[in-house]
A and B are shown apart, each in its own frame.
Chain A
Amino acid sequence: MSVLSAKRKRAIALLSLTSIILITLDLQGSASTSVLRGTFGAYFRPIEGVARVVTRPISNAWYGITHYNDVTEENNLLREKIAQQEGAAVAAAASVRLSQELLALNGLPTLAGINSVSAQVIGDSPSNFSQTVEINQGSDSGIKVGMPVMNAAGLVGKITKTFTRRSIVMLITDPEYALSVKVINNPKESPNVIDDPEAAATSTSSTSTTTTVPTTQATSNIPGFTPGATTIPLNTINVTVSIPSLAPTLTVPVSGALPVRETGMLEGRGPTRVPIVRFIDSAQRFGTILPGAPIVTSGGSLSLAPPDIVVGTVTKVSDRLGTAGPILEINLVADLTNLSFVRILLYQPITERVTP
């Protein structure tokens, strides 16, 4: 009996040591752990596939019982939203097209110029302490670790692991997720509009001429903000935009009334708590951040995401003493609880690109 116990203790010690070595290797980013996972995946995927088929009726029954009322309410809400947005969609497409042309004209990068891969979400993380989803595209499609993932609404997360034909996406709400973002603080005061052509003629060079397209903002739920996330191929749109008047209406921005941007760090906090943005500089120029201010990715040579992908809006501002700056709670535009299809931007910052 004691011999058997000693054998078991040795086996326990050996397995524990193996686990510790595996943890160390995995944390160091060793390829051997990926090979182990891949090998086990090859064995386990067929079993999981069969289990998925067998258990689907039970899952569906569970959803039917627990989510029936929610689905009915959501259906009604969606019908109403579709009715509201149908009319605005064409004008919105035109706005985006104009915006992209303007950016291209000035040699500025747009999201339309970044290749992307569409993927289907095929599974969630089987854990209570991880906010990840699995998608059905991998390194075969050019996906690499760190690439940003978005859906039609906005940013969803980033790629954290790739296999040949599948990848793991860490969602924004995961506590390990962090990303540099911009807060766009809209000016409160409206600009001075000069209608008098003579006055316009005598204005100084600080004035700017603007033409106005009928104001319809349907590309985003955020008032006054057209997201860069909505991209339309330049050669597929054929929309006539009517400009009502080309009379010289001059808009003179009030000093400091232009939208001001300030960068901060977005951090996830788990599935039950909304993400926050820290390290916002409490500069006087930036003014008071109000709920509703849009949050977009900041981009830059070190950021894994390109600039101007919509992330969400500010819902709560918690001021802190001293120069610590406020903490902003964020309402994400993407619904992470119900992801079906996502788009992976094949984007890598300059610092990550490997030259051949």
Chain B
Amino acid sequence: MLIECPWCGGREEQEFHYGGQAHVPYPAAPAELSDAQWSEYLFFRDNPKGRFAERWVHSAGCRRWFNALRDTASNSFIRVCAPGEPLEGYR
């Protein structure tokens, strides 16, 4: 795959590492979570066939993390953006 780094432009997939689902915040009050909620945070992630908001890091380039919206049914990237920017079009 060719991946568009927001800072470096299009590069070979080999320069990147995958970070899984984007926008999974650390629980605000972890001590207050039930076992079920903690399990959900640790082990359950979205796994859609279709649009998926995910994280990548350009580890062999600028070494910065970014978010991407990619279609897991075709592997095509819909857009990439720097962390903190809204990733519109997901759900």
Q: Do A and B bind each other?
A: no
* Residues of chain A at the chain B interface (Cβ within 8 Å): none
* Residues of chain B at the chain A interface (Cβ within 8 Å): none
